[in-house]
Amino acid sequence: MTTHHPVTDAVSASREVNPLVKALSLEARPQRPGPVATSLAFAHRALLKIKHVPEQLFDVTLTPIIFTLMFTYLFGGAIAGSTQQYLQYLLPGILVQTVLITTVYTGFTLNTDITKGVFDRFRSLPIWRPAPIAGALLGDTVRYVIASAVTVTLGLILGYRPGGGVLGVLAGIGLLVVFAFALSWAFTILGLVMRTPNAVMGTSMMVLMPLTFASNIFVDPSTMPRWLQTWVDINPVSHLVTAVRGTMGGTVTASQLLWVLVAAASLTAVFAPITMAIYRRRS
Amino acid sequence: MTNDHAVEARGLVKHFKTTKAVDGVDLVVPTGTVLGLLGPNGAGKTTTVRMLATLLRPDAGTARVMGHDVVAEADAVRRIVGLTGQFASVDEDLTGEENLRLIARLYGFSGAQARSRTAELLEAFELAEAGGRQVKTYSGGMRRRIDLAASMVISPSVLFLDEPTTGLDPRSRGQVWEIVRLLVADGTTVLLTTQYLDEADQLAHRICVIDHGKVIAEGTPAQLKRSVGTGALSLRVEDPVDRATAAEVVARVLGTPVELSGDVASLAARIPDDDDAPQRAAALLPELQAAGVRVAEFSLGQPSLDEVFLALTGQRTAEETEQEEVAS
């Protein structure tokens, strides 16, 4: 363009004084950060969101409180003879259920980002591609820890006495968080392919409800009909509950632990690449 | 070819299931200029920009930004473009400051650098006071400014603005225009999509009119408007008795037929296409006064996008050759 443009000519007169011009003419191009730094920046964003929208922690904290109280006092006597005895059995299970349900938020948040256009801003940046998702998952583990802390604290108040002590409880929570991190890769797939955040929520719950209820979370499967027992035995949630229960109770076996770790590794190995493939091709 | 043209697209195609959102778009944006991509909703503007900004992979065709292929060298493109629009937004739950800092960190600024760059941008975009508030509390104009600031964290060589003023009040609109002008004065190349002819007219060196995924006309704002007609005059006299006199004066001065509208005191006329028509239209007021007509309302309207559009799409099948002349 050789011709003068009235607009740009008029503006050039005011260039020196304008703070906008100064801010816009930045020459520096910093070095591109590595995968870890980038993911941590996104994890930090997830934490900021918890800080600004504490409401999202309500169901994370209220659900376990309601479930624990309801099951302990309503059914505890009938199921285990006494509420106190039942609580020892129930609490690790409730903990697992609470954290697994919290994983749904990962897909929900991701889908919200997509529908609001935030996600495309990130995709337009020259960053390590998996970082927005990996970072969000990292940030979500903080949510899992908060949910766990609430559940365990309530349990202790009601009379839950873990045989594994402090270390056992911490190890149990750690095991659960690792598994939840792996499982949330499955929900990121839903987050990427579904149309609305609420659809993600609904579908995820439809998957999680049978998984958590048809398991050994609430009752000993030996009282169930044979066909249901068969299902409960293959339900991965049952294996997770057994391992967490064992860890917190101080009776965990190596094979129980190994099962959870292998399951977590397999979930990540299967779902993370699928998530990333969909993420890359989302166009 | 590389750096004379900041953006260069050839035969871009993108299909969504059954619809051809973009159907063979060719575009060239010379470095340091503004190209306005003008068209109605669903014309394929946003899809085109998304492909250029590496967010969508074209089904066919090629595009280069500062010489980098948008598919093969997507990362190199991302390093030098900025993006603002309905589809590249900031996080409403976070504060303006947190949003900018996050983006600065993602570009590789250290903690302290990110903080000072953020403060500088908030200041420049007049958001310093609002920086600590969640973006969801921002007004429409502030919202657009924070979106703009987010795409300026590094100074981009090419900026894509997708309908930057849609839904804004006139004052905020003016502010956004001012920002774009400053950027261009500073050497940034801008590709802007808009539904408003006056916006394209105000900001763009060249305009591409796009409809149904195809570029249907291209030229400078003046060329484009000339192809449609400069606009329309509408006039209302205080006393209906004077309307006939007024019509006579308008017809004589403008040299175009006058239309008497339903209202007994109003009339309208098309402004002819020749270069001194605006001057003659301006001379109407004293002429009317000299003829003893008291004018109640006098307005000159630019052709609306609707009119440009109607004219262009109307010609499309019948006079394709003429259009190609406008394009060349």
From CA A246, how far away is CA A256, in angstroms rounded?
8
Size of interface A-B (CB pairs under 8 A): 141
Indicate if B65 and B188 belong to the same structural domain.
yes
Q: B192 pairs with which residues across the strands?
A: B36, B161
Cβ distance of A116 and B92 shorter than 8 Å: yes
Site of tokens 């050759």:
B321
Whether B60 is in a domain gets the answer: yes
Domain boundary among B226, B253, B273: B226
Question: Helix (H, G, I), strand (E, B), or coil: what is residue A282?
Answer: coil
Indicate if B180 and B245 belong to the same structural domain.
no
Indicate if B185 and B259 belong to the same structural domain.
no
DSSP A55: G
Name the minimum distance, in Å, from the CA of B239 to any CA of chain A. 41
Which of chain B's residues have a Cβ under 8 Å away from the Cβ of A125? 78, 103, 106-107
Question: Helix (H, G, I), strand (E, B), or coil: what is residue B29?
Answer: strand
pLDDT value for A260:
94
Name the minimum distance, in Å, from the CA of B272 to any CA of chain A. 24
Name the minimum distance, in Å, from the CA of A95 to any CA of chain B. 28
Indicate if B81 and B170 belong to the same structural domain.
yes
Whether B198 is in a domain gets the answer: yes
Cβ distance of B94 and A45 shorter than 8 Å: yes
Whether the CB-CB separation of B192 and B35 falls below 8 Å is answered with yes
Indicate if B273 and B177 belong to the same structural domain.
no
Are β-strands B34-38 and B206-211 bridged in parallel, bridged antiparallel, or unpaired? parallel
Closest CB to B155: pick one of A24, A38, A42: A24
CATH code, B27: 3.40.50.300
pLDDT value for B281:
82
Site of tokens 């998530």:
A275
CA A278, A283, B2, B4 torsion: positive or negative? negative
Indicate if B73 and B207 belong to the same structural domain.
yes
Indicate if B221 and B236 belong to the same structural domain.
no
Indicate if B13 and B83 belong to the same structural domain.
yes
From CA A179, how far away is CA A267, in angstroms rounded?
9
Counted domains in chain B = 2
Indicate if B64 and B176 belong to the same structural domain.
yes
Site of tokens 């003016």:
B174
Reported confidence tier of residue B86, pLDDT bands at 50, 70, 90: confident
Indicate if B211 and B258 belong to the same structural domain.
no
Minimal-distance CA residue of chain A relative to B51: A283
- Residue of B33, B326, B25, B314 whose CA lies nearest to B183: B33
Cβ neighbors of B299 (< 8 A, separation 6 or more) are B233, B234, B235
Indicate if B250 and B198 belong to the same structural domain.
no
Cβ distance of A41 and B186 shorter than 8 Å: no
pLDDT tens readout for residues A252-280: 999 999 999 999 999 999 999 999 999 88
pLDDT tens readout for residues B18-54: 888 999 999 999 999 999 999 888 889 999 999 999 9
CATH code, B294: 3.30.70.100
Whether B107 is in a domain gets the answer: no
Cβ distance of A124 and B83 shorter than 8 Å: yes
pLDDT tens readout for residues B221-245: 878 777 766 677 888 899 888 999 9
From CA B29, how far away is CA B159, in angstroms rounded?
11
Whether B288 is in a domain gets the answer: yes
Answer whether A48 touches B (CB < 8 Å). yes
From CA B90, how far away is CA A71, in angstroms rounded?
43
Which of chain B's residues have a Cβ under 8 Å away from the Cβ of A29? 79, 154
Indicate if B157 and B252 belong to the same structural domain.
no
The count of residues in chain A is 283
Minimal-distance CA residue of chain A relative to B76: A126
pLDDT tens readout for residues A25-77: 777 778 889 999 999 999 999 999 989 988 877 877 888 899 899 989 998 88
From CA B53, how far away is CA B103, in angstroms rounded?
17
Structural domain boundaries enclosing B19: 5-88+151-226
Q: What is the value of pTM for the model shown?
A: 0.80
